[in-house]
Each structure stands twice: as structure tokens, then as C-alpha cells.
Amino acid sequence: MKFVDEFRDPAAARALVKSITEIAGDTEWKFMEVCGGHTHTIYRHGIEHLLPENIELVHGPGCPVCVIPMGRIDDAMWLADQPDVVFTTFGDMMRVPGSRGSLLDAKARGADVRFVYSPLDSLKIAVENPDKHVVFFAVGFETTVPSTAVTLLRARTLGVKNFSVFSNHVTIVPPIKAILESPDLRLSGFLGPGHVSTVVGIRPYRFVPEVYGKPVVVAGFEPLDILASVHMLLQQYADGRCEVENQYARVVRPEGNTAALKLMAETFQLRPHFEWRGLGFISQSALKVHDDYADFDAEVRFSMPGVRVADPKACQCGEVLKGAIKPWECKVFGTACTPETPIGTCMVSPEGACAAYYNFGRLHRETALMVGQGAPVG
């Protein structure tokens, strides 16, 4: 068992794999890891090659950078091109391609695009540059929304007039529902997102077992966490249970972070619908700046083009995000589309399935094929 040597506790990993293999039997299992952080861990540590062949891990839509549709990137670039605008963004978004290049290209052309570590850094730039208007490009699931929420509150308290948020925040439950409703994916259960759940808790996933009859295990980010969570999912089937369990209880509280949820509700409201790359329009799946904070809403302050742009024909990010194909099954993977020259979002973010597979997974897969290790050998 080659890959297991990199684990913090190789003996525990071996024991888990042995038990997983026993419980899995001959049934075909298909578990989706919702979170891009999990995808990263899985490829990084070659976990798919540790598991028996009849267990497939399907990568889900939980990479916030990956699910932003091209039209929103074009809007971001339009904002960056406005006179006296300083456009601030997390580093991950800089290289995401829109229909006319990326924010990095806009910066090279002379637009004032700056990357920031925190939305609070963006607010600080606004305070220090009263003659400029500073826009923060907000992306992310519920993990990141509270940080933007606190920043909005702070902007109001300080009476900052030259700061606004271009919100592309999304919520985790609607895409899970959309995937459950899609007929072509027959999933056996879900590895629930770890850090999103520190905010939302574990209750929002209850509909998955209750309505769709699939188990959910909220999982941590270590390779051992992934193995333990797969084990817990299989154990539910073995015991005839179907529920939401919390493998990451050392960080995730069942009720989530109630203070963060309250701040989010104050500063954001649900959009009627929002377009997701690959998943199309999903109702009530994204957050806009709350009407009470309209002064800080870039979509209110600027008349953005808001044009819907179809993905490039060659790009199959949509299929990857739905778990319908593996990264290496995309026609342009590793040839026209690489981390240096990405065509699709999944190749840009380290949490994207294509980038994670390109950087790590290929090596593991090649090694596995070389040593004939389709299934673990003990």
C-alpha cells in the first residue's frame, strides 16, 4: 500500500482501508465530496487508489471560484475598467478567464486591480483612498460570507462612502439539491463540507437523508478524515441507518456559528436565482447585499452590463462540477487547458478538480497503474 506511508498515522489508515473494503463488499458505491478542499486532499494523497475499485469518489461543485459563470467575470472586469475604481479580489480570482481575458490581463492593461487577503484589507484601501471607489469582489460559500458581512457592518459604522461589494456569494444546499435532482448521477451519499459547516452547522443537510434517502457525513480535511468519513457512510448502510453524521466534530458544532449566521442575515439576502457554471440557474442559491446596505452594493451603484456568456465550447467544467466526468476525460485537459493557461475555472483554483488532478492526481494514477494497484493490497 504505497500511498499510505504519507499519512500521519499509517497504521490507522491501513486499518480503515481494510474495514472499508470488508463493509463495501461487491456493491458499487459512489460518494460525492461536495467541497473542493476535500477534492484537493483526495488527489494530493492518492486516496482514490487506496479505496477498493467499487468505491468511486465523485467531485462536487464546492469550489467557489469554479462555479462563477463567465458573465460575472466579465462584469468584474467591466468594474475594474471604470474610472477611479480600485478593484480588489482574492488572489484565486485573478486568473479566472472571462470572455475577454482575466483580471490579471485587466491589471496588465492598466486597471487598478489589487489582490487582498481579507475583505477588511479592501475596506482599509477605501479609507486610505477617499478619492477612489473601492470594490470588493466577494466570492465564496458560507465559509467566507461572514467575513464580508462583518466588513459591511464595519463600513457602515465608519461611514465609509467609497466602498462597495460585488457579491457572488453562493450557498451550499441548493447545488446539492440540484445534483440530487439530476437523473444521470446515482450517488450513494455525500461527504459534507467541513468549513462551510463550521458556519451553517449540520442541520441544513437533513433533507438529504429525509427526502432523498442518502446519508451525509460532514468530513474533515486530513486524509484520515476522508477515509474515516467513507467508513462512516458505509457503516450507515451496514446498520440500516440513513442520517447526517459529523466526523469533523472537533471543529464543527452541530448548530454552526450562530453569531456568524446572524451577521449574514443582517447584511445579505437570497437572490431569486443565480447562474452556476455547469449547473445552470438555481433558485435561491446565492446572496446579494441586503437592501438595507444598498449603498454598499456594487450592483446598485454601477450599471453593469450583466450579460450572460456561454462557456467556451471546448471546456467541460460543467460536466466536471456535476461529477459527470473526471478531469482527465475532458477533451482539453492537460493539452489546451493547464494551470498556466486555464480555459475553465476548474483548472484555476487549487481547489478545482482539474488543477488538483493536474498537479497531484496524475502522478498517483500513473504510479498506481505502474504498480498494478487498482485495489489496495494490504
Partner 1 sequence: MCLGIPGQVVEIVDPDEHLARVDVSGVRRIISIKLLAEQDVVPGDWVLVHVGFGMAKIDEREAQLTLDQVQKMGQDYLDEIDMFKSTDVGDGISA
DSSP H stretches of helix in the chain: 10-24, 36-44, 47-50, 70-80, 103-108, 119-128, 145-158, 173-181, 194-200, 207-212, 223-239, 258-267, 298-301, 317-321, 353-356, 362-370
Q: Which of 168, 257, 285, 316 binds partner 1 (CB under 8 A)?
A: 257
Q: Which of 48, 75, 92, 275 binds partner 1 (CB under 8 A)?
A: 92
Do 315 and 341 meet the contact criterion of CB atoms below 8 Å apart?
no
In the chain, helix, strand, coil percent, each to 5? Answer: 45, 20, 35
Output 29 or 136, the one with its CB closest to partner 1.
Answer: 136
Sequence-distant (≥ 6) Cβ neighbours of residue 206 within 8 angstroms:
244
Do 50 and 126 meet the contact criterion of CB atoms below 8 Å apart?
no
Determine, following the binding rule CB under 8 A, whether residue 265 of this chain makes contact with partner 1. Answer: no
Determine, following the binding rule CB under 8 A, whether residue 345 of this chain makes contact with partner 1. Answer: no
Q: Which of 46, 64, 71, 209 binds partner 1 (CB under 8 A)?
A: 64
Q: Which of 82, 185, 207, 221 binds partner 1 (CB under 8 A)?
A: 221
Determine, following the binding rule CB under 8 A, whether residue 251 of this chain makes contact with partner 1. Answer: yes
Q: How far is the CB of 272 from partner 1 (least distance, A)?
A: 26
Q: Which of 19, 54, 99, 147 binds partner 1 (CB under 8 A)?
A: 147
Determine, following the binding rule CB under 8 A, whether residue 91 of this chain makes contact with partner 1. Answer: yes
Do 176 and 208 meet the contact criterion of CB atoms below 8 Å apart?
yes
Determine, following the binding rule CB under 8 A, whether residue 150 of this chain makes contact with partner 1. Answer: yes
Determine, following the binding rule CB under 8 A, whether residue 36 of this chain makes contact with partner 1. Answer: yes
Determine, following the binding rule CB under 8 A, whether residue 266 of this chain makes contact with partner 1. Answer: no
Sequence-distant (≥ 6) Cβ neighbours of residue 64 within 8 angstroms:
36, 139, 140, 141, 144, 170, 349
What is the C-alpha separation between 126 and 298, in angstroms, rounded? 14
Output 24 or 145, the one with its CB closest to partner 1.
Answer: 145
Determine, following the binding rule CB under 8 A, whether residue 154 of this chain makes contact with partner 1. Answer: yes
Do 137 and 90 meet the contact criterion of CB atoms below 8 Å apart?
yes
Determine, following the binding rule CB under 8 A, whether residue 350 of this chain makes contact with partner 1. Answer: yes
DSSP code, position 5: G
Output 88 or 236, the one with its CB closest to partner 1.
Answer: 88
Footprint of partner 1 (CB under 8 A): 6, 8, 35-37, 40, 44, 64-65, 90-92, 115-121, 123-124, 127, 139-141, 143-144, 146-147, 150-151, 153-154, 157-158, 195-196, 198-199, 221-222, 250-253, 257-260, 263, 349-351
